Amino acid sequence: MALTRSNIFFIAFLVLLVSVFLAPNTYIHELFSYERFYNYTPRVIDSEHDINYIGLHDRGVEHFQNIFYAEDTSGPNRFAPPIPIQHPPGTLIDATSLGAFCPQGVGGPPLPFQSPITNISENCGNALGSAADQMFQPDGLVQQAKANHQPIIFVAINYRLGVYGYATSKALIDKKHANVGLRDQRVRRNIAAFGGDPENMTAIGQSVGASSIGLHLTSYRGKQGVPFQKAMFVSLPALLLKKHLTRRNQQSMMSGATGTNFNIMSPFMATNTANVARSLDCIPENSSPDSEETLLCLKNKSMEEINKYAISYPEDAKPRIGGP
């Protein structure tokens, strides 16, 4: 009997069908399972810098975590602007696990909307690392955006807090090393490799994050641009910032922020920086907290030594709620 191409296709399909029905149930499940079609290892190739990233896939969302964009900010890099990390060409980055939190208070009861913190490190200059707090899990948002045919890329960033990000003294100001916590807030360099548009970015900030957005918008009197095109505030009134926004720098008025968060106000941080230095014996005799010697001494202290005083002072100085 002569076999045509359609006959051969039908026989092959029939053999496959019979094989499936005769196969064990475990094989059938493996062949047609959700995991076979949807569980895979996502990869991103940054051709500009010759870097490969390996991520995780979970229920239709690709996760790339703990991606470092800056060198370790401890030691000589403490209180200094972030230094962009330079990976050797051909580097393969495992972005499948969470990173550390930037230095802050540990232990004790968590604040509202925050989780207890157990893992802190100054080497925390990453995106989608410890910023992945339960409150900010992006999966639902990403899935809904895709269903609405308006897909997004969600990026959560780490940036230095408290004295690590906003220490101030004459020595730091002379070096132009003030407000380094704000300088940490950059994602433009890597976003294009992940399919994002560096010219169409929306910043969303809650609490001190909202204050950071306000400070970006008003820095340099709004004349030097900001690292995003749109902003959403999730804290405090921001009506005073409306005049700083052009049509391109749109703002969604979700409460807003004034950019005057208590913990990063200049007079407070100057006092905090001096108190930490004094407590750690970093102010030489007949010298001042503003000296280069004091700054060098603070850079040589361990994170644990600085934390001992950098956190206790703001806790004692902050306005009390519900009492005298």
pLDDT digits (tens, 9 = 90+) for 233-289: 776 544 444 444 444 444 444 444 554 555 667 788 888 899 999 999 999 888 889
- pLDDT band of 317, cuts 50, 70, 90: low
Active site residue 279: no
Is the pLDDT confidence value at 16 over 60?
Answer: no
Each residue of 25-59: pLDDT tens digit? Answer: 433 334 344 444 456 899 999 998 899 999 999 88
pTM comes to 0.75
pLDDT at 23: 41
Average pLDDT, the chain: 75
The torsion angles phi and psi of 87, rounded to 5 degrees, stand at -85, 140
Tell me which of 24-28, 104-108, 201-205 is least confident.
24-28
pLDDT at 36: 46
pLDDT at 101: 81
pLDDT at 240: 45
Tell me which of 20-34, 54-68, 186-200, 203-217 is least confident.
20-34
Each residue of 63-98: pLDDT tens digit? Answer: 998 888 899 999 999 999 999 999 999 999 999 988
pLDDT at 305: 93
Closest CA to 215 of 140, 278, 174, 269: 269
pLDDT at 261: 59
Residue 70 burial class via C-beta count within 10 angstroms: exposed 0-12, middle 13-18, buried 19 and up: buried
pLDDT at 77: 95
* Mean pLDDT within 133-160: 85
What is the distance between the alpha carbons of residues 69 and 78, in angstroms, rounded to a whole number? 16
Percent of the chain with pLDDT over 70: 67
* E strands present in 43-95: 43-46, 51-54, 56-58, 61-63, 67-68, 91-94
Selecting among 207, 279, 288, 312, the annotated active-site residue is 207
Determine contact, residues 161/104, Cβ cutoff 8 Å: yes
Closest CA to 114 of 96, 138, 134: 134
Closest CA to 86 of 189, 3, 10, 161: 189
The DSSP-derived string for 151-167 is ------B----HHHHH-
pLDDT at 238: 46
Residue located via tokens 């940036």? 159
The torsion angles phi and psi of 301, rounded to 5 degrees, stand at -80, 155
Dihedral sign (CA 290, 291, 293, 299): positive
pLDDT at 3: 47
